[in-house]
Structure 1
Amino acid sequence: MSLAPRLDLRQSQSLVMTPQLRQAIKLLQSSNLEVTAFVEEELERNPLLERDERAPPGPDSGHRVDTSPVVAEGADSHAAAVSDTLPSEAAGPLDAEWDNVYDAGGGYESPYGRGGRADFDENLAGIDDLAAAARSLREHLGEQVRIAFHNPRERLIAAQLLALVDPAGRLAVEDGQIAAALGCKEAEVANVRGRMQRFDPVGMFCRNLAECLAVQLAERNRLDPAMQALLDHLDLMARRDRVALMSVCGVDAEDLAEMMAELRRLDPKPGASFDAAPAPALVPDVLMRRAPDGGWLLELNPETLPRVLVNRGFHARCQVGARNKEEKAFLAERLQSANWLLKSLEQRANTILKVASEIVRRQDGFFRHGVEYLRPLILRDVAEEVQMHESTVSRVTANKYIATPRGTFELKYFFTTAIAGTMGGESHSAEAVRHRIRAMIEAEDPEAVLSDDAIVERLRQEGVDIARRTVAKYREALRIPSSVQRKREKAVPA
């Protein structure tokens, strides 16, 4: 064997993750709102990019799931808009004299137009249309402290309690600790805290749930010995042990049902409704509606879809005026970045529509008849049909929502595992089986509560081959108690 050095020529292939490729992958797995934020940054960074101010496509320009052609509406109005001929005199003669026409508006006309603004914005909303800023929980309680307490010593204790209360309205610190910190008597803290518990909302500054509910019941003059006994045994209520509750409270089934219903009408966290931020609106990325021929029509949401253009005229003028190689290299790099961004956005839109169309085609029964007809679906099924990799389909369906006639769903909702059918029959979607389990339990006879084994037997009669532990797992995921707890609850009439 020779040990002399030598030169070999080898040819191999490797995938290099360029910045442009990473950008395209990032855009693909981002929602429309995230893509809009990214495009806004690019508009500030790249002088060759500009917003597309043209009107978005019409409502009938979406992507159809089937192959039938789409007849665009509004073609006549578009032809009239681009026509060189003048409109007919139906709207009024062209030689009409308007000098003697009474103007109902009257009044002074500013140089910027009647009732307008210097920027010609037609927003005529008055100050009465502006919503007042919501007060925080501490502001709301602080105003009541200033009204209820005039003694500086009591105000100091109330301010300390107000600083220690949590957003839900609980006060976890004992009265003795607060008294030791302020150098006052524990009875003074208890007195101030008792008065503040009647503030609006009632039930604040309590240490636990039972005390919070007791204060609200006392405010309604409903805290009798039976109700107090019920509050002392909330653990039995959580276990739905109504027989034990009737024995503890000394009431019959009808009175116990009324007491439990009254407790459910109370607010266990009276302070949570003040500082809670409003839930963000869910903006769908894909819009779906029924086509006139019975099919489905899909389109990307134009309200969130960024639309940009490359200003090639500006690039040509700048290139002519470039003084050195650095400026020309900068313009070339910006033009390449802008072109790549437009290509990435176009490819992203086509990929999302292609994947969403395949999902809608496979889950057509769900959209027409309900969740019982949801079919099992995995990423590989869609990837093979649209000729993409599974990772690409996974990125497309991540953080994407589709607005359908049955509601707004995440695209990943339609990917469910398959449960085999009995005797080699057709497999069933796990989500459809969960829905069937819920329907069985809701329709069960109170005298014959279904156990997990009974549910398994019924599902197998319907052609679903499922194990008992799987039924128990689905039931717990649906937050449905066991058959023992349901039987105990339904043994006493509500």
Structure 2
Amino acid sequence: GCSEAEVLRILAVIQGFEPAGVGARDLAECLRLQAERQGIYEGLIAAVIDRHLDEVAAHRIKEIATAEHVEPAAVQMAVDIVRQLNPKPGAAYGTGAPAYITPDVIIRRGEQGYEVEVEESDVPQLHISALYRQSDTFDKATQKYIASRLHAASWLINSIEQRRATIRRVVEEIVRRQPAYFEKGPAFLQPMTMKDVADTIGVHESTVSRAVANKYAELPTGIVALRSFFTLRSTRSETGEDVAAAQAKSAIASLIKGEDPHKPLSDQKLCTLLKAQGIALSRRTVMKYREQLGYDSSVKRKRY
């Protein structure tokens, strides 16, 4: 029930709110509002925002340079600035409460090596009241009922203690098998399956799986999920030794971080370099690991 001019006036007021970019009708307007607020909405930056966001997404730097009659290096600089703007300025204002991870076990370096401590501060200490053990004065039916409840309570307490003991044994076995990981970091994680640990400590594989499900360990370097220590599969090195996927990913990340940004490494080139390190991976596996690490293809990583 009002004019379009009035709606646009109110929209302009809303677009002046914090954070810059709210109230935008599309991505280009969102970025434009932020650039204007920073005083950089001009020249090539304005052209990239207004006319070339699709090309930016596809990393077609040369096409933008041709269209704007400038050098690719100038476009690269403008694109880098535009990418520092926030395409979702409202995302920082979530409604959900933050979820904090409380470690279930703590692994510390002690005098005799690494020590495992099961965290019990959040676990209530259960016990059976002595009152219910003195049921001689009750009738037979009541005594039978109390006896069954006492049995159930004892079973629950024993199960909790057994679970705690199982977690400790699993984590102690992880520590025993992964000395290089704790000394040098995730890149030195050795192949290890739940069955390996289960066979060693004498339990079923499913018991290990349940013991580590949704459990976290506090290390001197931070908190990690216990499941992250296990590998479902392992790649194969040229010497016939197993190589954990985490170790292969670490090697790929290291190669990409050290590449020439003007001549980024293709997936096939990564295969060749990994093979020289004794890690034989298919190009498809390299591509999968690269994507899981969050790296774009070599075409999109190229700098001008």
TM over 0.5: yes
CA displacement, residues 120-150 of structure 1 (integer Å, 9 cap, x when unaligned): xxxxxxxxxxxxxxxxxxxxxxxxxxxxxxx
Q: Decide which of 230, 234, 238 is 1:418's aligned counterpart.
A: 234
How much does 1:305 deviate?
2.9
How much does 1:198 deviate?
0.6
> CA contact under 8 A between 1:366 and 1:373: conserved in structure 2?
yes
Question: Does 1:282 pair with 2:101?
Answer: yes
Q: Which residue of 2 aligns with 1:379?
A: 194
Indicate the larger mover: 456-465 or 381-390.
456-465
Q: 1:238 to 1:420 in 2, by over 3 A?
A: same
Q: Which residue of 2 aligns with 1:341?
A: 156
> CA contact under 8 A between 2:45 and 2:82: conserved in structure 1?
no
Paired amino acid for 2:257:
E
> CA contact under 8 A between 1:456 and 1:467: conserved in structure 2?
yes
The residue correspondences of 1:122-271 to structure 2 (distance < 5 A) are 183-232=1-50, 233-252=52-71, 255-271=74-90
Q: Decide which of 256, 268, 271 is 1:456's aligned counterpart.
A: 271
Q: Which residue of 2 aligns with 1:315?
A: 132
Q: Which residue of 1 aligns with 2:288?
A: 473
Paired amino acid for 1:216:
Q
Q: 1:264 to 1:482 in 2, by over 3 A?
A: closer
Q: 1:225 to 1:449 in 2, by over 3 A?
A: closer
Mark the runs of 5 or more structure 2 residues left unpaired by the alignment: none
* C-alpha distance in structure 2 between counterparts of 1:484 and 1:201, whole Å: 33
Paired amino acid for 1:370:
G
> CA contact under 8 A between 2:136 and 2:143: conserved in structure 1?
no
Paired amino acid for 2:132:
H
* C-alpha distance in structure 2 between counterparts of 1:225 and 1:449, whole Å: 29
Indicate the larger mover: 268-277 or 278-287.
268-277
> CA contact under 8 A between 1:427 and 1:464: conserved in structure 2?
no
How much does 1:376 deviate?
0.7
* C-alpha distance in structure 1 between counterparts of 2:219 and 2:16, whole Å: 47
TM-score computed with the length of structure 2 as normaliser: 0.91
The total of aligned residue pairs comes to 302
> CA contact under 8 A between 2:44 and 2:75: conserved in structure 1?
no
Mark the runs of 5 or more structure 1 residues left unpaired by the alignment: 1-182
CA displacement, residues 18-51 of structure 1 (integer Å, 9 cap, x when unaligned): xxxxxxxxxxxxxxxxxxxxxxxxxxxxxxxxxx
Paired amino acid for 1:315:
Y
Q: Which residue of 1 aligns with 2:117?
A: 299
Q: 1:483 to 1:259 in 2, by over 3 A?
A: closer
CA displacement, residues 395-433 of structure 1 (integer Å, 9 cap, x when unaligned): 1111111111232111111111211121x4321111100
* C-alpha distance in structure 2 between counterparts of 1:473 and 1:275, whole Å: 31
Q: 1:258 to 1:445 in 2, by over 3 A?
A: closer
The residue correspondences of 1:43-122 to structure 2 (distance < 5 A) are none
> CA contact under 8 A between 1:287 and 1:403: conserved in structure 2?
yes
* C-alpha distance in structure 1 between counterparts of 2:173 and 2:90, whole Å: 47
Report the 3-state secondary structure (helix = DSSP H, G, I; strand = E; otherwise coil) of the residue aligned with 1:440.
helix
With a CA cutoff of 8 Å and minimum separation of 6, indicate the structure with the bigger relative contact order. 1
CA displacement, residues 340-391 of structure 1 (integer Å, 9 cap, x when unaligned): 1110111011111111111111111111112222111112111110111111
Quote the sequence identity (%). 36
Question: Does 1:363 pair with 2:178?
Answer: yes
* C-alpha distance in structure 1 between counterparts of 2:187 and 2:93, whole Å: 40
Q: Which residue of 2 aligns with 1:125?
A: none
> CA contact under 8 A between 1:226 and 1:250: conserved in structure 2?
no
Q: Decide which of 479, 482, 486 is 2:297's aligned counterpart.
A: 482
Paired amino acid for 1:210:
A
How much does 1:460 deviate?
1.6
Q: 1:480 to 1:200 in 2, by over 3 A?
A: closer
* C-alpha distance in structure 2 between counterparts of 1:201 and 1:213, whole Å: 12
CA RMSD across the alignment: 2.1
In terms of fraction of residues, the more helix-rich structure is 2
Report the 3-state secondary structure (helix = DSSP H, G, I; strand = E; otherwise coil) of the residue aligned with 1:297.
strand
> CA contact under 8 A between 1:227 and 1:249: conserved in structure 2?
no
Report the 3-state secondary structure (helix = DSSP H, G, I; strand = E; otherwise coil) of the residue aligned with 2:265.
coil
How much does 1:225 deviate?
4.7
> CA contact under 8 A between 1:285 and 1:301: conserved in structure 2?
yes
Larger Rg: 1
Q: Which residue of 2 aligns with 1:273?
A: 92
* C-alpha distance in structure 2 between counterparts of 1:265 and 1:484, whole Å: 20
